Structure 1
Amino acid sequence: MASTEQTGHPQRYLIALAVTLSSLVEGLDTSVVNVSIPQMMGSLGVSLDAIAWVSTGYILSNVIIIPLTGWLASLFGRKRYFTGSLVLFTVASFMCGHATTLESLVFWRIVQGIGGGALVATSQAILYEVFPPKEHSRAMAVWGMGIMVGPAMGPVLGGWLTEKLSWPWIFYINIPICILALVMVVFLVPDSKYREKVRKVDFLGLVLLAVGIGACQLLLEDGNKIGWFSSMTGLELGALVVFCLGLFVWRELTFDSPVVDLRIVGNLQFTACCLFTFVQALCTLAIVFVTPLLLLDLMGYTALETGMIMLPVAVGTSLVMFVVGRISHRCNPYALIFIGVSIFLYAMWRYSYFDAQTPREDFTWPLLLRGIGLGMIFVPLNALAVADLPPEKHAAATGLLNLTRQFGASVGVAVAAAVLGAMQGQFESVLVDAASSDSPQLTYIGQRVTALLAGQGILDPTAHYISLTMLDDYTTQQATSTAFQRIFTIFGLALLAALPLVAFMRKNPDRSAPTPSGH
């Protein structure tokens, strides 16, 4: 009779639904806040810099807890830890909605991030155990719908709830989903068969990890504001990151009961998957960060309209994950990654033609293709990540894998903001220099605008001033459009550059099948 390791848990699809719901609300809360920030500022009476801590606090606590999830699951028991984290996330969501001061809102967002960290990494470890290796791609397809669709749906749901109700409802919406997931987890999810009892607690490792990752995240969040390493604050944060994380790595490799098992990085396939995941998250979140700026600032759409325009990304991702999940056992995972990267690159090429005059309907196909490309990459990549690791290492592996994903996202946003600002300034400077020179074309345009205004009864010097203002606005708009277009091209090529990492992913998720030719 076949063991459950070969056939999987009999209720594995219900378990997948339970943990996917948990991952969905965690992913949703990484992006749902952004469109509600103006209303929060007015309601709480705080500045933009202060309200930014509502997002920063959540991400900071989330990224610190993610690499510890495997160790915490061993310390408390995986089911107990996952259930407790879900309860903590639910309570924190309710308290965030009830917050009346910035301090209380930030505090509960930090608590929410602590609970949310387990909902992604631990849920992935659960699926790796309850599904047999040959169905890992299918499990990642189901789980990926939550992890990928949640952030994509955040702006849409956040914009609608804020516009129709009020900002606390972006947190209250989590509660019924969390309660349903909690009931299913309690009755369906088994504890891990591979739990290793924690013999001693590495308090020094915990402190070094928290301080090092926290300082790194703060540097990524505020790097543009403080001038990166040209400022004393940036240098201090950078030195703290290098010192703490360097000492942490040495500590974990020499301590007999580490909080994070860094030895699995020695597995070449797992490391290649982590690096590819880092680049994918960097490119994905950079585009997620830049696209709303294009729609809101350059094109003047509202938050709700922006969310609706971006909806095809979530639709494309969901559809392709559903399809890939059903056919993955018959497909070469390496081919799926290659096709996904190609589709993403083509979508970024289409993105590079977006400007202030682009009709709304022209956004649909490029955004849909972007979602399809990312979905085709996500499913096989996450299945390949643990294909060459023993089951008892899956919990630690998912923590590190999701840490690289979170760091990739943070780096992507920081790089996109820095590059966008630099390019916008560069292109605007070139256009201003051209406008200030004796260009016959610009002189002619200025004369024509002045003449048209004069025909409406607006005479010099008012007409001349208005024509110069219009030219200045046009120059700024063109510089911004060019910067956005270059950004999309850069991040499309960046993901293409990561493709050679696939050559190191030699172990197929279906361990009973021979490795595909060429690997």
Structure 2
Amino acid sequence: MDYRWRVTAVFLLGFFLDCINIFMSAIALPDVAQTMAVGPSLIGWVGNAYILGLVVVMPISTWLSGYLGTRRLLVLSMLLFSVAVLACGYADSFARLIVWRFIQGLGGGLLIPVGQALVFNLFPGAQRGRVSTVIMATALIAPAFSPTLGGIIVDHGSWRWVFFANVPFSLLAAVLAWLWIEKGRGAQVAEPDLKGLILIGLVLASVLIALSLYADRGFRTGVVAGLAAALVCGAAYWFHHKKTRNPIVDISLMGNRRLAVAMLVYHAVPGVFTGVNLTAIFYFQTVLGFSAQSTGQFMLFYAAGALVAMVAGQRVSASLGSRFLLAVGITLHSIGIVCLVGVHAADQVPLLIAAYTMMGVGGGLSANTAQTIALLDFKGRHMEQGSVIWNLNRQIAFSLGVAAMTLVLALVKRWLPAISPYPATFLFATVLCLSALCVLPSLSPLLLERKS
């Protein structure tokens, strides 16, 4: 196998593990909540803790790569991931599960931005569109099959095996990284911006804690304090960033039009979908009476639609342009969410299939186009920094999507008890998704072909 594709294979395996740890664990959350005796608002921290770990460590992954060397860093990340995911399966309390999920996120967060930057630097120019499609296809294979597999595990065994099942794959990734990545010495790099890292972690943690407290307990003082803390930490990082030579996240790169639009689209489509999917899992299992396996199988239709959309989108991107593809993708994804609003009984399976297929088509088209244009203008060091920002945004989008949908669901239950809360939440998600159309006019009508 060509060296470029060996490197790509190692990255894709780690990326695959990251994806299944969002979707495969989600299908088990109703059972985890029952075992740990926690509500839907707090159970979201099984995902939030993992994402918070990713967010904390991703910005220093580039520095660690320079200090340790890429091969050693990738091996260590997968070994840490293996230990943490094993401990998650054995966790006997909710607090311990959350701690180990955070550590698991630390392991995964070391591999993703470094691996993606390495792969993208090996596939310059027009070739990047092809490898980007392969990356996004991997991101679809995981949610296609992992929820179904997770459902089978939960229905016929224990939710703990949802975590244990990761161990062979993470160990395989460690072995392949050692065998296939070229050995290189660590480069001389600047010391990491630990102050900036702490401030960024506090911003996200404050927002998530505030939203969770309000959704779970209606604690208004807590949410105001949490959001205020996030604003203060965010402002502190802004001033810190301007005074620091090597900030942990180079905010100035977000002034790039393509990256900025791609980041916003990712919040509105994949981010919103992650929250919608978690809400739907509880709706299907606790209200409509679906089994975990049956719930997971709807993701097969999502993945099928997304795969078709990505392949077709890649072929017509040069003639239609990124702005048109994103507009179509956002619209189709919103139509899919609207279909969920009309689901009120377990016998409406055709409507559910249509909903997930439509969300898949729209999500695949939007996510793949956003992934392709996000780092199109960057090379070398800026590519590494841009990769960190892009992957941070991807993880934050997932976390905020879950937090937003959980909060809306709780508010509808609390303030509008006469309204069915789940359809109302899906309707809100539709509006949130469509709002992304507002940022598209800033893109050139035909963007991809100008850069290819």
TM-score under structure 1 length normalisation: 0.77
| Contact 2:155–2:291 (Cα < 8 Å) also in 1 | no
| Contact 1:137–1:379 (Cα < 8 Å) also in 2 | no
Give the deviation of 1:396 after TM superposition.
Answer: 1.4
User: Partner of 1:496 in structure 2?
Assistant: 434
In structure 2, do the counterparts of structure 1 residues 486 and 130 end up closer, same or farther at CA, with 3 Å as the change threshold?
A: same
Distance 1:279 1:373 in 2: 11
| Contact 1:133–1:510 (Cα < 8 Å) also in 2 | no
Return 14-23 or 91-100, whichever deviates more.
91-100
User: Partner of 1:213 in structure 2?
Assistant: 204
Q: 1:332 aligns with which of 301, 308, 321?
A: 321
Percent identity of the aligned residues? 23
In structure 2, do the counterparts of structure 1 residues 222 and 30 end up closer, same or farther at CA, with 3 Å as the change threshold?
A: farther
1:313 aligns with 2:251: no
Distance 2:319 2:70 in 1: 32
Rg bigger for which structure?
1
Q: 2:173 aligns with which of 176, 181, 184?
A: 181
Q: 1:48 aligns with which of 32, 38, 46?
A: 38
Deviations 1:149-196 (A, max 9, x none): 434544322221122232332122112222333333333345899x97
Distance 1:98 1:428 in 2: 38
User: Partner of 2:137 in structure 1?
Assistant: 145
Distance 1:371 1:316 in 2: 5
1:91-130 mapped onto 2 (5 Å cutoff): 91-100=83-92, 102=94, 104-130=96-122
Deviations 1:246-269 (A, max 9, x none): 111211221112222222122222
Give the deviation of 1:112 after TM superposition.
Answer: 0.6
Distance 2:339 2:347 in 1: 11
Secondary structure of 2:177's aligned partner: helix
In structure 2, do the counterparts of structure 1 residues 512 and 147 end up closer, same or farther at CA, with 3 Å as the change threshold?
A: closer
Letter of the structure 1 residue corresponding to residue 429 of structure 2: F
Deviations 1:52-72 (A, max 9, x none): 654443232223223443344
RMSD between superposed Cα atoms in Å: 3.1
Distance 1:105 1:355 in 2: 34
1:297 aligns with 2:286: yes
Distance 1:422 1:217 in 2: 16
User: Partner of 2:405 in structure 1?
Assistant: 416
User: Partner of 1:224 in structure 2?
Assistant: 215
1:248 aligns with 2:237: yes
Distance 2:44 2:280 in 1: 19
1:8-23 mapped onto 2 (5 Å cutoff): 10-23=2-15
Moved over 6 A (4+): none
| Contact 1:70–1:260 (Cα < 8 Å) also in 2 | no
1:115-514 mapped onto 2 (5 Å cutoff): 115-151=107-143, 153-189=145-181, 197-227=188-218, 230-231=220-221, 233-325=222-314, 332-356=321-345, 358-424=347-413, 428-429=417-418, 479-480=419-420, 483-506=421-444, 508-509=447-448, 513=452
Give the deviation of 1:508 after TM superposition.
Answer: 4.0
| Contact 1:161–1:169 (Cα < 8 Å) also in 2 | yes
Distance 1:55 1:495 in 2: 21
Distance 2:404 2:398 in 1: 10
Secondary structure of 1:32's aligned partner: helix
| Contact 1:281–1:406 (Cα < 8 Å) also in 2 | no
In structure 2, do the counterparts of structure 1 residues 237 and 488 end up closer, same or farther at CA, with 3 Å as the change threshold?
A: closer
Return 207-216 or 420-429, whichever deviates more.
420-429
| Contact 1:20–1:145 (Cα < 8 Å) also in 2 | no
| Contact 1:347–1:370 (Cα < 8 Å) also in 2 | yes
Distance 2:34 2:118 in 1: 42
Distance 1:323 1:505 in 2: 21
Secondary structure of 1:133's aligned partner: coil
Letter of the structure 1 residue corresponding to residue 239 of structure 2: W
| Contact 2:82–2:167 (Cα < 8 Å) also in 1 | yes
Letter of the structure 1 residue corresponding to residue 432 of structure 2: A
User: Partner of 1:440 in structure 2?
Assistant: none
- Which structure 1 segments of 5+ residues have no match? 1-8, 430-478, 514-519
In structure 2, do the counterparts of structure 1 residues 219 and 196 end up closer, same or farther at CA, with 3 Å as the change threshold?
A: farther
- Which structure 2 segments of 5+ residues have no match? none
Deviations 1:446-501 (A, max 9, x none): xxxxxxxxxxxxxxxxxxxxxxxxxxxxxxxxx31xx4434334333433331242
| Contact 2:241–2:247 (Cα < 8 Å) also in 1 | yes
TM-score under structure 2 length normalisation: 0.87
Letter of the structure 1 residue corresponding to residue 16 of structure 2: L
Deviations 1:311-341 (A, max 9, x none): 3112322343345456656763333222222
In structure 2, do the counterparts of structure 1 residues 204 and 490 end up closer, same or farther at CA, with 3 Å as the change threshold?
A: closer
Distance 1:221 1:395 in 2: 33
Distance 1:251 1:196 in 2: 25
| Contact 1:312–1:371 (Cα < 8 Å) also in 2 | yes
Distance 1:54 1:495 in 2: 24
Letter of the structure 2 residue corresponding to residue 202 of structure 1: D
Letter of the structure 1 residue corresponding to residue 38 of structure 2: L
Secondary structure of 1:414's aligned partner: helix
Give the deviation of 1:29 after TM superposition.
Answer: 1.2
Distance 1:349 1:101 in 2: 37
Give the deviation of 1:411 after TM superposition.
Answer: 2.5
Distance 2:113 2:383 in 1: 10
Give the deviation of 1:509 after TM superposition.
Answer: 4.9
How many residues end up aligned between the 2 structures? 449
Return 334-343 or 256-265, whichever deviates more.
334-343
Distance 2:376 2:44 in 1: 39
1:59-70 mapped onto 2 (5 Å cutoff): 59-70=51-62
In structure 2, do the counterparts of structure 1 residues 160 and 486 end up closer, same or farther at CA, with 3 Å as the change threshold?
A: same
| Contact 1:137–1:328 (Cα < 8 Å) also in 2 | no
